[in-house]
Structure 1
Amino acid sequence: MNLEKINGVPVLLCPADGDPIAAERDALDLIGDAGYQGARWVAVPAERFGADFFRLRTRVAGDIIQKFVQYGMGLAIVGDISQHIEASDALRDFVRECNRGRQTWFVTDTAELGEKLGG
């Protein structure tokens, strides 16, 4: 994991090949690492999340995102999730609502994350 400043904001960039983020415990580990390194945001490649994360009825996404909210740490899910969005109107609405806020964003790449952090 690398800590980088993107538009002046410290962001912990997670590699694509790490352990899956599948439960609250995994989120807490990331939040702890990020906080220790001074990050305000964590950017996680979408492929690190299992299929259950993208099926809202499982509540996996809600549980993970809630931990980030509780600890005041931003979460960016980075990558192409179009196949998940095409399969679920609820997920499409959820992503749209998240992207309107200031806590959790679904972005295609770190350049888009930079634009959001700068705005």
Structure 2
Amino acid sequence: MTDLMTERRGVPVLVCDEAGPPIAGTQDALDLIGAAFSGAQVVAVPAARFGDDFFTLRTGLAGEIMQKFVNYRIRLVVVGDLSARTAGSTALRDLVAESNRGDQVWFVADLDELDARLAR
């Protein structure tokens, strides 16, 4: 599968392929944002595309990438089971919880959870 522009719950979503290139820096995030300009309001990225630096918050990479999406007003959704990562990091667990209270960046287990959030 390649990245796919689709509509989920009436919202245009760019669903990224898990086998796509890693998102290792802000330029990779900007490339996704550029792809989203074809009409997506949401970019759903498998957690597997993010490296350890994204989930190690002291690197600042997660904040930089998330801020790019916020600046361009495109929602970022990280899709995948993060339970092992959040179990080992209070800071990451807090970031996930705080992000999921907002409207710009979400962390969801799967696309069904994304659909449920979009339906609200």
Report if TM-score (shorter chain) is over 0.5. Answer: yes
Q: Percent identity?
A: 55
Number of the residue aligned with 1:19: 21
Q: Which amino acid aligns with 1:7?
A: R
Distance 1:82 1:58 in 2: 20
Number of the residue aligned with 1:108: 109
Q: Structure 2, unaligned stretches of length 5 or more? A: none
Number of the residue aligned with 1:33: 35
TM-score by length of 1: 0.98
Distance 2:24 2:115 in 1: 26
The partner residue of 1:10 within 12, 19, 41 is: 12
Runs of 4+ residues over 4 Å off in structure 1: none
Superposition deviation, residue 22 in structure 1: 1.1
TM-score by length of 2: 0.97
Q: Which amino acid aligns with 2:101?
A: R
Describe the SS at the equivalent of 2:78. strand
Coordinate RMSD, CA, aligned: 0.5
Distance 1:5 1:19 in 2: 23
Q: How many residues align?
A: 118
1:70-108 residue CA offsets vs partner (Å, 9 max, x unmatched): 000000000011111011001000000000000000000
Number of the residue aligned with 1:92: 93
Superposed counterparts of 1:24-103, under 5 Å: 24-35=26-37, 37-103=38-104
Describe the SS at the equivalent of 2:114. helix
